[in-house]
Amino acid sequence: MSPLRHVVGTSGALILLGASTPWLGGCQPAASPAKEAPDHVGDSVMTTQDSPADSPLPDDTSRADSVPHDSASSGPPQVVLFIGDGMGIESVAGAGDFANGTAGTLGLEALPYRGDLRTASLSGITDSAASGTVMATGTKTYNGHLGLDRDLNTVENLVEVAKSLGMGTGMVTTDRLSGATPASFVVHTEDRYSYADVSAGYYAALPDVSLGGGTDDFAGLVDTAAVDVVETATDLAAWTPAGRPLLGIFSPSTFPYVYDTYTTQPTLAEMTVKAIDALKENPNGFFLMVEGARIDHAEHANDATRVFPETVAFDEAITAGLGELSPDATVLVTADHECGGLHIVTNNGVGVTPAVDWRYNWHTNADVGIWGRGPLADTFDGQRLDNAWVHAVLQAAIQQTAVVAPTEVPLVDGYLADLPAAAVTQSWDSSFGTDYDRMDALHVGSDADGLRIGVDGVWEDDASAIFVYVDIDYGDGTGWPHDGALTDTVGFGDAALSNAKLTFADQTFGAERALISMQAEEAFRGLTGTDNAGLRDITAGSDFGWLESATNFDSGNESLFNAPAPDAGVADEGFEAQIPWASLYGTDTPGVERRLAVVAVLVNDTGTYVSNQALPPFPSATEAGAGSAELPGEVAFTVDADGALVGDPVTVP
């Protein structure tokens, strides 16, 4: 087969390998009928001129047509995805400090190709279920969903693709096997936390090799006459293939932390080697996913003492696995998301935990790294791509075809190119510091899912606040400030809203909703927000209601840990929000044509001091300061009964 090349487009030829005798008896479905392979698959390259208008190239992803991929595998495809759950860029750097005294020294960092991934889900900030699902299926979904699209339809995963070709399949994790990441490659269910349903679905679609935790989840499910079950490291080392799936469950739930030492559990490296050695016996090749799960768990706890040993153990599993694979295996190493907003302050040397700072105890929208080697892995080299590309590359490697570019969907990710052009732009440099806090332009969009708002700019993580006021019945002369003062002092964000002494030049503008982000904090769809972020119903004045929304920042548009935002001045990146129609009108759609208006303003984190940054802009560059500030106008627009924009937004006056 000729070398594979990168194709940018919406379709591509597929090669289905011929049917063969199922391996490890019983767990493989009948192989799909063979299809005739086209001649010279992948030799032609669709250029950007050929790309359909509705499938634009992702941000920063243009590639020279003359750059070929590594040659396709000379034997059956070996395809391995390593996922460090929660493993952000700083997790990798700190693990290098901890293990070797220097960042940049992990084994995974020696892989020849290196890029970055955006990770947002349909909920905004992703969870492991949604991120696992998009890597397994290529389909963006809401948090909590496993193997389902936004409408709860089943979508084919890579394990199913590999099985259909008679290939071996495997899952290895230090989480329970019913955990979100391994389950997203095997299971189709709405709720990742319904462990009984997830475990039953996992067992019904059992891969050839499954190694991890979760004894309690699989109690009563396993037929030991049909499945080889091992429960200790000693048993795993002694196991040899006997024509049945291997199910290794080594702890009641998750594995212990590496820092706390294992008892009878095998290491992640030992499980990885065993899985590869078993799967290599399949003459049609294999697909394997390996997860270092407890990196994320330690980050949720802001526990640096345990984060770095977990990351080092994950890296050791990668090194051990590479030693068992063919030289032309496709190997990708990445994370499903960053967790905790980890920042390395001081390298304290080999074996000593680096000094760190944390922002949160949950996931962030920060880009994660991707490293790789082998056929098609160079797709990511030097690129910044959405994580849907992981599935695109892995599926192509499994099927030995050209890569098909994933279809982009609108996301609340701070990447604003999928919103309409800016309705209004800023007139002044920021008085709060150009590279730390500023609002450059305001975008307004809407669709069946709700109102979408984007603000180009950058924000400081420990100082500023964004307030976006929304008039949901513009022109009626109701809402704040017509209906009285805001006096809710319970909660950081609510108190800041009440402290902001703002008036409006247009006396018809009255806000019923206020969208807030304090200190560059995000809210994700599915919750009503936090004290620091989300949507407020301000109609009561003295006791704000919390309503569902999603808010997010593009990675690079936050000024973190007293450093300027790296993407200051980059157009179409910044703050983004989606407000479901139910949070505005109590119904799934506007129902009738509606007139709305929005105003955005940047204040300090207590609301007591107003910058010179507002959209529409203030009439002069002088900051409003600590007194009352008059906002000079608003962006008004109309939506139809289904939520689509009617005409273009306009600035009033």
Q: What is the pLDDT of residues 396-438, one digit of tens each?
A: 999 999 999 999 999 999 999 999 999 999 999 999 988 999 9
Residue 107 sits at φ, ψ, to 5 deg, of: -60, -40
User: How would you label 16-32 residue by residue, b for 16+ Cβ within 10 Å and e otherwise?
Assistant: bbeeeebbbeebbeebe
Interatomic CA distance for residues 435 and 572, integer angstroms: 16
Whether residue 452 sits in one domain with residue 321: no
Whether residue 391 sits in one domain with residue 336: yes
Residue 117: its H or E element: strand 113-118
406 domain-assigned: no
pLDDT at 623: 87
408 domain-assigned: no
28 domain-assigned: no
Kindly give the parts of the chain with pLDDT less than 70.
Answer: 1-74
Q: Which residues pair with 467 in a beta bridge?
A: 516, 601
Token pair of 36, please? 């005739």
30 domain-assigned: no
Query: Do 398 and 77 touch, CB atoms closer than 8 A?
Result: yes
Residue range(s) defining the domain that contains residue 476: 416-652
- Which of 355, 370, 399 terminates a domain? The answer is 399
3 state SS for 20-54: CCCCCCCCCCCCCCCCCCCCCCCCCCCCCCCCCCC
Q: State the alpha helices, DSSP H only, in 165-250.
A: 180-184, 195-204, 215-218, 233-238
Whether residue 360 sits in one domain with residue 496: no
Whether residue 176 sits in one domain with residue 220: yes
Is there a cis peptide before residue 616, judged by omega within 30 degrees of 0? Answer: yes
50 domain-assigned: no
Angle at 483 between CA 480 and CA 489, to 5 degrees: 65
Query: Do 414 and 557 touch, CB atoms closer than 8 A?
Result: yes
pLDDT at 71: 55
Whether residue 472 sits in one domain with residue 333: no
Residue 506 sits at φ, ψ, to 5 deg, of: -90, 110
Catalytic positions are 128
Interatomic CA distance for residues 460 and 605, integer angstroms: 10
Domain total in the chain? 2
Is there a cis peptide before residue 68, judged by omega within 30 degrees of 0? Answer: no
Whether residue 359 sits in one domain with residue 504: no
Whether residue 444 sits in one domain with residue 322: no
pLDDT at 597: 98
561 domain-assigned: yes
- Which of 373, 399, 425 terminates a domain? The answer is 399
Whether residue 192 sits in one domain with residue 311: yes
Whether residue 559 sits in one domain with residue 508: yes
Tens of pLDDT, residues 71-113? 555 689 999 999 999 999 999 999 999 999 999 999 999 999 9
Interatomic CA distance for residues 303 and 340, integer angstroms: 10
Token pair of 313, please? 């153990």
Interatomic CA distance for residues 371 and 89, integer angstroms: 12
pTM score, whole prediction? 0.88
3-state DSSP: the chain helix, strand, coil percent, rounded to 5? Answer: 20, 25, 55
> Which residue, among 596, 597, 606, 612, has the nearest Cα to 439 in the 3D structure?
612
Question: Does the CA dihedral 559-453-532-489 come out positive or negative?
Answer: positive
Residue 391 sits at φ, ψ, to 5 deg, of: -65, -45
Whether residue 634 sits in one domain with residue 608: yes
pLDDT at 569: 87
Whether residue 143 sits in one domain with residue 261: yes
CATH number at 141 reads: 3.40.720.10
364 domain-assigned: yes
43 domain-assigned: no
Query: Do 185 and 136 touch, CB atoms closer than 8 A?
Result: yes
